[in-house]
Amino acid sequence: MASIFSKIIAGELPGHFVWQDDDCVAIMTIQPIKPGHILVIPKEEIDHWDDLSEALSAHLLAVSRKLARAQKRVYQCRRVSLQIVGLEVPHTHLHLVPIDEMRDIDFAGAEMADAASLTAEAEKIREALAAG
């Protein structure tokens, strides 16, 4: 059975995309910890991140670095946290969260976001990516 991320990637479910290439996508999470919280997801459905090929692992990190730089420009944050948790969806995904303090990475603070706010945040990040 396809994961929810595979369904978003296939266009069967809506997603707020900020990046898409042959190997991965990046979308706004519907339950952000902070504004600008992104998920970087390989198109190939791989449950455990340590089962990724070396090439795919390196690619996800390179894309994450580009996205983190855009997030820093948009959110003026001290850091962008990168976390791989994987308990909620059995499809590898990297969380990129703009943070200023340790408490900013507490998943207990995640709240459902409305589509309009996700669209707005995605647009900000895409513009920052385009500006380089």
pLDDT, one tens digit per residue, over 51-100 is: 999 999 999 999 999 999 999 999 999 999 999 998 989 999 999 999 99
| CA separation for the pair 20, 123 (Å, rounded) | 14
For residue 49, is pLDDT > 80? yes
25 C-beta neighbours (distance < 10 Å), count: 20
pTM: 0.96
Contact predicate 96/67, CB 8 Å: yes
* Catalytic-residue membership of 95: no
For residue 1, is pLDDT > 80? no
* Cα dihedral: 87, 10, 28, 22 (round 10): 100
Of the chain, the end-to-end C-alpha distance in Å amounts to: 38
Of the residues 16, 59, 91, 93, only one is catalytic, namely 93
The pLDDT of residue 80: 98
For residue 118, is pLDDT > 90? yes
Closest CA to 36 of 85, 84, 90, 79: 79
For residue 44, is pLDDT > 80? yes
**Cα–Cα–Cα angle for 6, 10, 14, rounded to 5 degrees:** 90
For residue 43, is pLDDT > 90? yes
In this structure, what token pair is assigned to residue 1? 């059975």
The pLDDT of residue 51: 98
Beta strand segments in the chain, E: 17-20, 24-28, 38-42, 79-83, 94-99
For residue 104, is pLDDT > 90? yes
Question: Given pLDDT bands bounded at 50, 70 and 90, which one contains residue 132?
Answer: confident
| CA separation for the pair 68, 20 (Å, rounded) | 15
The mean predicted confidence, pLDDT, of the chain is 97
The pLDDT of residue 121: 98
